[in-house]
Structure 1
Amino acid sequence: MENKLRRYEKIEFLGEGQFATVYKARDVETDTFVAVKKIKIGTRQEADDGINRTALREIKLLQELHHKNLIGLLDVFGHMSNVSLVFDFMDTDLEVIIKDNTIILTTGNIKAYILQTLQGLEYLHLNWILHRDLKPNNLLVNAAGVLKIGDFGLAKLYGSPNRINTHQVVTRWYRAPELLYGAKQYGTCIDMWAVSTKIDQCIPPG
């Protein structure tokens, strides 16, 4: 594991959540930038299992999914009480772009972001996976304008008509009406609703 730690040279702190820290790093073997998400092990039971369920779900799915509009999981390694996930490095996210008053989104820009989101989402749905947390800051964008869907901590397989799911998914402002009303059975429509709210945010008023 020491070799892994040396391989990814920290450059810049990017953000922190309740259980994870993300930083920009350089892969010294390939001389490319990557994003490293260091996850703290949660409860004792989760520590006994080796990793918390959310991280395990994200790792399992991303190891099996490969699409140009989904964030790529490049490496996984553990060290002490942490597990680190190495991802494609993306320069920004759609939330930052939308909120930046100095950036003027053209019709072409908006169409490109929507198309790429839908292409990634189509791939997920064809593989029977709901993302369940589509929002602008989970739509990552690089300097070339390529958009990739990220953060698969709430993603889940679907398909069984009898499967019972929690309605406490998707950030509240992006939840489909059926989730707000407490639905326990739902499908791809919840992701599509989230995309529609994103489209509304991208289109300037007036």
Structure 2
Amino acid sequence: MLCVFRVNGKLVALKVIRLVNGKLVALKVIRLQEEEGTPFTAIREASLLKGLKHANIVLLHDIIHTKETLTLVFEYVHTDLCQYMDKHPGGLHPDNVRLFLFQLLRGLSYIHQRYILHRDLKPQNLLISDTGELKLADFGLARAKSVPSHTYSNEVVTLWYRPPDVLLGSTDYSTCLDMWGVGCIFVEMIQGVAAFPGMKDIQDQLERIFLVLGTPSEETWPGVHSLPHFKPESLSCVCVMLLALYSCVFISVCVGRLGYVDHAEELASRFLQCFPKNRLSAQAALHHEYFSHLPPRLWELPDMSSIFSVPTVKLQPESGDSIQVCSKSHGKATSNSKH
């Protein structure tokens, strides 16, 4: 199996091969041009992944560097959350959403404790194995965050999963950047469609967020008026009229299915906070009441142990019986790679 795509102008080939021992691996082959050298995203991804060993992070087996190519040898994972949701439209089984979210938080907690930000959370970058294991992948935009913080680019995170602080031009962010994406993905898994599917540009994306969560003010978001792109007068007339009628529409109104799952609405609202510092951390979220029905043993597992090593943990049957190749933009993706 072979597909070719571009990342930052570089041709990238993704091959799946079977090793002598019968195991499959995915080869991410980046064609190099002598005058340009190795793309920084590939160097960043390789350097970060070599030091990460966790059941919920895609495993980088090896790096092969020649004059013509840079090849990253990954474990093979047969699909991603984007394809999984396309196969099962209308929202996933609530028990499966809980297991996928727990694994996502488990992986994020691991990298956040090591001061690493993923910076591009979206369904395409969450791989799903045939046993239901979820693995964080595509660390091309990830950064190791030092303390004290530096400023970073605001051209990160695919539009639909980009937090309002970054949309407003903030370049001073921490792990809360990833937690907004967690909230968007959580809602999307439950309801079957994106939480904030902006169709035009950054301004359209902001309007969709503010119509649900309310227009921020200095009282609700200290410092928001000082952000580079905060221009309340630039909101569309429709958005202003609606916001005059209600300052905040609770998530349950826009996403009705959340209300049918114990503690889901409250957890989603803890992730989807406009003020970055109010967002729940990955570590804290793992202990939220939403996960109270899971076996206690899950919190005691070693990093490299799958949650499915606990006998009572398993995915529930979903509707649908055929995998469809993901063709949606899912927020104007910058690239779509599979490991």
For residue 171 of structure 2, give the secondary structure of its aligned residue in structure 1. Answer: coil
Q: Is 1:86 matched with 2:73? A: yes
Match of 1:130 among 96, 117, 137: 117
Aligned to 1:154: 141
Are 1:24 and 2:16 an aligned pair? yes
How far apart in 1 are the matches of 2:178 and 2:149?
A: 19
Q: Which has the higher strand share?
A: 1
Q: CA RMSD in A?
A: 1.8
Q: Give the count of matched residue pairs.
A: 190
Cα drift, residue 101 of structure 1:
3.9
Aligned partner letter, 1:186? Y
**Residues 138-187 of structure 1: CA deviation (Å, up to 9, x unaligned):** 00011000010000001101133351100100101110111000101100
Asked whether the equivalents of residues 36 and 87 of structure 1 are also in contact (C-alpha less than 8 Å), the reply is: yes
1:5 alignment partner in structure 2? none
The correspondence of residues 100-179 of structure 1 with structure 2, limited to 5 A, is 100-101=87-88, 105-179=92-166
Q: 1:163 to 1:43 in 2, by over 3 A?
A: farther
114-123 or 154-163: bigger deviation: 154-163
For residue 50 of structure 2, what is the aligned residue in structure 1?
Answer: 63
Q: Which has the higher contact order (CA 8 A, sep 6+)?
A: 2
| Structure 2 CA distance for aligned equivalents of residues 107 and 116 of structure 1 | 14
What CA distance in whole angstroms lies between the structure 1 residues aligned with 2:112 and 2:179? 11
Cα drift, residue 43 of structure 1: 7.1
Contact 2:85 2:189 in 1 (8 A): yes
Q: How many percent identity over aligned positions?
A: 36
Which TM-score applies when normalising by structure 1?
Answer: 0.86
Could you tell me the TM-score, scaled by structure 2's length? 0.53
Structure 2: which 5+ residue stretches go unaligned?
A: 193-256, 258-339
Contact 1:132 1:154 in 2 (8 A): yes
In the alignment, structure 1 segments of 5+ residues that lack a partner are 1-11
Question: Any conservation in 1 of the 2:90–2:191 contact (CA below 8 Å)?
Answer: no
Equivalent position of 2:30 in the other structure: 39
Q: Secondary structure at the match of 2:184?
A: helix
Match in the other structure for 1:98:
85
Secondary structure at the aligned position of 2:191 is classed as coil
CA shift, 1:17, in A, is 3.0
